[in-house]
Amino acid sequence: MFVDIAKVHIKAGNGGNGAVSFHREKYVAAGGPDGGDGGKGGNVVMIADKNLSTLADFRYKRKYVAPNGGNGGTKRCSGKKGEDLILKVPFGTLVKEESTGKIIADVSTDEPVIVAYGGNGGWGNTHFATATRQIPRYAKDGLPGDEFDAVLELKLLADVGLIGFPNVGKSTLISVVSEAKPKIANYHFTTLSPVLGVVRPVEDKSFVMADIPGLVEGAADGVGLGHEFLRHVERCRLLLHVLDISGSEGRDPIEDFDKINSELKNFSEELSTRKQIVVANKCDLAEPEKIEEYKKYFEEKGYEFYEIMAPINEGTQKLMLAVLKNLADLPPIKQYDTEPFVKPENAAEINREFSITVKNGVYEVSAPWIMKIMNNTNPDDYESLQYFERVLRESGIIDKLREMGVKNNDSVNVEGIEFDYIE
């Protein structure tokens, strides 16, 4: 079963929590804080595997979670780092954030790609000791790892794509010029999934060719099979447009050519500008005068024109050498621009966004990013409360409250926790 799209949930590991601990040793007075840091959470890493050709494995398991980092310990011992979760995917797999469509990663080389980063471990209380704060009784929790719903989309890595109406001879062509063994029969939609083959026109040079099935009029709108596989044409550097030059099925080759190119344009404006070579197949069934007429037509439009009889391998070597020559002048296989995943709450935290409203005399502060700091605040520790107050001042919340007219002993509610304001 050929599967080229899969939806999964990806979660990197959370960082471990920092430890609150104090050194205890005989004859050592006031040993001081020695709480260790939490370990970093594991990343989710994707590696391209040449032995995989579909995303079928991701249809049966949808949730992928990397291990969390270990919590910090005593004696300044850091928590264990969470192991990375390795996912193997076919070459050419794109990882998209489902909610925005943003491309997180393009797994099309041998290099491992981190698609979700584990959270950093929290600091132990060792980090908060100063000359005036010698017994800090608080530490930081680890940060959460990246988490999002992803769409995995496979776009085949091929130098050359075979396009054209069904039953024009694309499968036959790829079978005679490569080791690929597609199903070949005299009816439409014999090929139900893309077929890849390695072509070696000369001993020391080769390229990858893909037979893209099911292109008919209306393919970009879901007609036939083409709408499922048009995405696989996008990476191709060169397109071989195969035509039944004999019109054996009652269609006009020029009309077929125009219809397929119209579908490419409807799917992608960029794809419609990709270089094409016109391949006239079934020449043995066509009148020589007609072939010359079609050749003149396409060459006047700037296309290279090659005559072949695929079943008997006639003219194919000349065509493959022309393909090799064209590829030498074309840019490499397309790589997609990617953007790293950014947690929505991280964006708010970086900007320290907040809003304040007054309801029934209570100043209500909405600042979701501050919840992490509040969770790490020890209300019984004076220094911990001082740190929380400093965050309120540095973020501008205190200034905004003053601007709105807050007075001593007015009630202030910060994300559900209410206290009296004291200047």
Quick one: tokens of 203?
């001993």
The arithmetic mean of pLDDT across residues 173-200, rounded, is 71
Confidence (pLDDT) at 82: 94
Query: Measured at the alpha carbon of residue 125, what is the angle toward residues 74 and 119, in degrees to the nearest 5?
Result: 90
Residue 160 CB contacts under 8 Å (≥ 6 apart), including other chains:
199, 207, 208, 209, 210, 236, 237, 238, 239, 240, 323, 327
Residue of 16 and 379 predicted with greater confidence: 16
Query: Which amino acid does the sequence have at 326?
Result: N
Question: How many residues appear in the chain?
Answer: 423
Give the Cα separation of 335 and 157 in Å (integer).
10
Per-residue pLDDT reduced to its tens digit, 122-140? 889 888 887 777 778 778 8
- Reported confidence tier of residue 164, pLDDT bands at 50, 70, 90: confident
Check if the beta carbon of residue 8 is closer than 8 Å to that of residue 152: yes
Q: What is the Cβ-side half-sphere exposure of residue 13, based on CA atoms within 13 angstroms? A: 26
Tell me which residue of 144, 148, 147 sits closest to 14, measured CA to CA: 144
Query: Alpha-carbon distance 45 to 230, whole Å?
Result: 28
| Among the listed residues 38, 50, 46, the one whose alpha carbon sits nearest the alpha carbon of residue 338 | 46
Q: Which pTM was predicted?
A: 0.70
pLDDT of residue 43: 95
Domains of the chain: 1-154 (2.70.210.12), 160-327 (3.40.50.300), 344-420 (3.30.300.350)
Question: HSE on the CB side for 203, CA within 13 Å?
Answer: 0
Q: What is the pLDDT of residue 220?
A: 44
Cα–Cα distance for residue pair 46/40, rounded to 1 Å: 19
6 has a pLDDT exceeding 70? yes
Query: What does residue 364 show for φ and ψ, rounded to 5 degrees?
Result: -100, 120
Which of 121, 47, 115, 116 lies closest to 80, judged by CA? 121
Give the percent of the chain with pLDDT over 90. 33
Answer yes or no: is pLDDT of 221 > 70.
Answer: no
- The per-residue pLDDT of the chain, averaged, comes to 84
**pLDDT for res 376:** 66
Distance between CA atoms of residues 133 and 135, nearest Å: 6
pLDDT (mean) for 258-266: 86
Residues 324-353 have pLDDT tens digits of 999 999 988 888 888 877 665 554 455 577
Distance CA 105, CA 166 (A): 33
314 DSSP 8-state letter: B
Residue 383's pLDDT band (cuts 50, 70, 90): low
The percent of residues in the chain predicted with pLDDT above 70, rounded, is 87
pLDDT of amino acid 374: 73
